[in-house]
Amino acid sequence: MAALVPRSSRRKNGNRSDCRTASFNMGAVTLVAEGQPKFNFSVWPFSMDNIENANHTYDLKSDGTYTVNLDYQQMGVGGDNTWSPKALPLKKYQLTDREIAWELSLELK
């Protein structure tokens, strides 16, 4: 899985952004996700239980399952101070509390 990068923070790893469509081939069936507007996604070759309970990337063990994350957006890390407890992304990369309209359709083909 080329998008997966060995990092200690597993939950935002391998994210793809500004996607209109994503297809996940599962052998005889393909799952197609389409977003309006665009969406983010990531796929990990681990169960969610394994991801949540791993303290390090070497604790992740593939068991034949995949976790697919479909998100409206993720808050960026672009800022002037990413190393301290007060670190925040620049305003243009922050997700604010506001109502959004987002549509995501899933289809098995």
Could you report the per-residue pLDDT of 11-30, keeping only the tens digit for each? 567 889 899 999 999 889 99
Structure tokens at 66: 């995949």
Q: How far apart (Å, rounded) are the C-alpha atoms in residues 76 and 54? A: 23
How many CB atoms neighbour CB 37 within 10 A?
12
Q: Is the C-alpha dihedral spanning 57, 59, 47, 49 positive or negative?
A: negative
Q: pLDDT tens digits, residue range 31-55?
A: 999 999 899 998 888 888 888 888 8
Is pTM beyond 0.85 here? Answer: no
Q: What is the DSSP letter of 51?
A: H
Q: Residue ranges per domain, the chain? A: 16-108
**Pick the residue with more confidence: 90 or 2?**
90
Nearest residue to 12 (alpha-carbon basis) of 34, 39, 41, 38:
41
Structure tokens at 23: 């297809």
Q: How far apart (Å, rounded) are the C-alpha atoms in residues 49 and 62? A: 11
Distance of CA 91 to the CA centre of its chain: 21
* Mean pLDDT within 62-87: 77
Q: Which residue is it, tokens 């197609």?
A: 32
